[in-house]
Amino acid sequence: MGFLDSLLGRSKLPRPKPDKLFAMSTAYVTMSLNLGLTSTGAGICFKPLDASKYMTTEMEIRELLQQSCKETNTQYQIKKDSYGYLWVTLNDPEFEDLVSTVYLVSETLTEEGFGEQLLCAVFKFKGEREVFWIYNFKQGAFYPFSPKEKQRDPAYEFRLRSIMEHELPIEKEVERWYPMWDIPI
C-alpha cells in the first residue's frame, strides 16, 4: 500500500497465506491421540465471480480436481451455499490427501489472481462433539468452531485452542473466530 492510498483511506485486502494449511497435517496426529477427534471431511470456500477469466479458472479447478481425486480416491462435490459462495467439499480416509487437495485449489485460485476471493478452508472432525477447524486465508490462522444446536460452545473451543496452540497457527483475536453455520461438509 502506497502513501497516496493510505492518505486517501484506501486499503488493499491481505494476500492469502495458503502455506500454513500444511500445519493441519501434523496437528491431526495430536487431535486424534489427545482429543479423540477423527476427520470426517474438509472443504474450501470462495466467492465466485462473473468474469470470463474466473470462469476459465473454475474450469481449470474442476479439471484439476478430477485428475487429482482420481489418483487419491478423494471424493469431491462443488456446491453453492445460500450466501452465493462456492464450496469444494472433500471426503477421503487419508487426511493428508484432504489437506493437499485444499491447498491445490487455493494455490490455483491464487496463481490465477483470485486469491482475494478465498474465504476459508474448513476441516471437520467428530469426537465427543462435532468441531470444525476453520482456516482464515487472509489472517493465515486457524480457529475452532463447535456448533451445538445453533449455538457455539465457547468453553470447548477455548479448550481446543489451549491444546492445539503449539501445533497450529491459532487466530489470537477471538473476535475473528467467526461462526459459520450450515457448513456443507
Residue 1 belongs to a domain: no
pLDDT tens for each residue of 38-69:
999 999 999 888 777 778 888 888 898 999 88
**Partner residues linked to 152 by β-bridges:** 147
Neighbouring CB atoms inside 10 A of 153's CB total 18
Q: Return d(Cα 139, Cα 35) in angstroms, integer.
A: 25
Q: Return d(Cα 101, Cα 82) in angstroms, integer.
A: 24
Residue 9 belongs to a domain: no
CATH number of the domain at 108, please.
3.30.70.600
Mean residue pLDDT across the chain: 88
Which region, left, alpha or beta, applies to residue 134 given φ > 0 means left and ψ of -120 to 50 means alpha?
A: beta
* Number of domains into which the chain is organized: 1
Burial 116-145 (b: 16+ CB within 10 A, else e): bbbbbbbbbbeeeebbbbbbbbbbbbbbbb
Residue 166 belongs to a domain: yes
Residue 136 belongs to a domain: yes
Residue 3 belongs to a domain: no
Residue 44 belongs to a domain: yes
pLDDT tens for each residue of 147-159:
988 899 999 999 9
Residue 152 belongs to a domain: yes
pLDDT tens for each residue of 114-132:
888 899 999 999 998 899 9
Angle at 160 between CA 157 and CA 161, to 5 degrees: 90
Given the DSSP bridges, would you call strands 118-126 and 86-91 parallel, antiparallel or unpaired? unpaired
Residue 133 structural domain? 15-170
Residue 29 belongs to a domain: yes
